[in-house]
Amino acid sequence: MKISPLSKITLDGREFLVKRDDLIDPFLAGNKYRKLYTLLQTPIEKYTTIISYGGTQSNAMLAIAAMCKTKGWKFIYYTKPLSTQQKESSVGNYANALALGMEHREIEHALYRDCIASLRLNLDEATFLVDQGGAVVEAQKGLEVLADELREQLNAHPEIKAVATPSGTGTTAFFLAQALPEYRVYTTPCVGDAAYLKEQMHALGDMPKNLSILQPKKKYHFAKPYEEFYAMYEKLKGEGIEFDLLYAPAMWQALLEQTEEKILYIHSGGVSGNESMLQRYKVN
């Protein structure tokens, strides 16, 4: 793999660098590529099957489906029941993941928790379970590789002392901060608030000192359409780079409102989910 390049983008008169992890692959890109790095390096013979669970528009689901396709592994994905409309939609991550060979299994709401818990207890040696969102401790190695790339590329930009990437589970920001102690790592919670994010990160280890959580000024619910997120998406696209609609707008907003220094933004991918999200913006 060639290392992903850097681009420049100007927003509100400020110049930012962007690490183009979105360009790694159409489906297996961004932080999901980084988080699946260890599995991607695993010899094909080690597993026959990967299982995971979570939302049906998830970027992690699509990335795992793309990985399993290239590896020849079977991929079984568990979710709560889907609406007919979701099942029939021909766009978005779900449709793409099915086309890549994903086997989808629905679990009734009442049984969901117990069923997911039992997956872990019934694993054989040839089956690997990826937790929701790809929040595996194995993600650490992939983020060390990202940190090495950044270190090398930032040699040419000594004025940059900070990087930024948005958080869902916080796995990416946490391991990146740990692997890149000489840079400040900014993140913002996109699922829940800062307290919830810290709790998630504590499960991975002690909070790295260089990690700064920027709390959004307003409370947002994950994956809901917001006017200002759409406006930010359009503004970024107008400057030449497409970002996702769920995470990136909140991160960019926090950077513009709450920071002043020169920052490198790590594109976390997820652009493949925009088509279905844009449909929801049009409906509302």
Q: Cβ contacts of residue 57 below 8 Å, gap of 6+?
A: 92, 93, 94, 223, 273, 276, 277
Contact between 249 and ligand PLP per CB under 6 A: no
d(CA 188, CA 192): 10
Q: What are phi and psi of 52, to 5 degrees?
A: -155, 180
Query: How far are the Cα atoms of 32, 94, 147, 156, 200 from residue 205, in angstroms, in the given order?
Result: 20, 33, 18, 32, 10
Of residues 92 and 270, the one with the C-beta less far from ligand PLP = 270
Query: Quick one: which segment of 67-75, 120-128, 144-152, 163-171 binds ligand PLP (CB under 6 A)?
Result: 163-171
Of residues 56 and 59, the one with the C-beta less far from ligand PLP = 59
- One-letter identity of residue 187: T
Instruction: Tell me the residue number closest to ligand PLP, measured at CB.
Output: 270
Of residues 110 and 252, the one with the C-beta less far from ligand PLP = 252
Of residues 218, 55, 200, 74, the one with CA closest to residue 132 = 55
* Closest CB 278 distance from ligand PLP, rounded Å: 15
Indicate which single residue of 270, 272, 276, 277 sits in contact with ligand PLP (rule: CB under 6 A).
270
Contact between 244 and ligand PLP per CB under 6 A: yes
Of residues 169 and 184, the one with the C-beta less far from ligand PLP = 169
Of residues 48 and 256, the one with the C-beta less far from ligand PLP = 256
Query: Quick one: which segment of 67-75, 84-92, 165-173, 211-219 binds ligand PLP (CB under 6 A)?
Result: 165-173
Enumerate residues 12-31 that contact ligand PLP by CB under 6 A: 30-31
Of residues 68 and 269, the one with the C-beta less far from ligand PLP = 269
Indicate which single residue of 52, 79, 93, 167 sits in contact with ligand PLP (rule: CB under 6 A).
167
* Closest CB 133 distance from ligand PLP, rounded Å: 5
Of residues 167 and 178, the one with the C-beta less far from ligand PLP = 167
Indicate which single residue of 92, 168, 208, 249 sits in contact with ligand PLP (rule: CB under 6 A).
168
* Closest CB 186 distance from ligand PLP, rounded Å: 13
Residue at token pair 């079977």? 74
Enumerate residues 169-198 that contact ligand PLP by CB under 6 A: 169-173
Of residues 22 and 51, the one with the C-beta less far from ligand PLP = 22
* Closest CB 185 distance from ligand PLP, rounded Å: 12
The residue ranges that bind ligand PLP (CB under 6 A) are 30-32, 59-60, 133, 166-173, 244, 247, 268-270
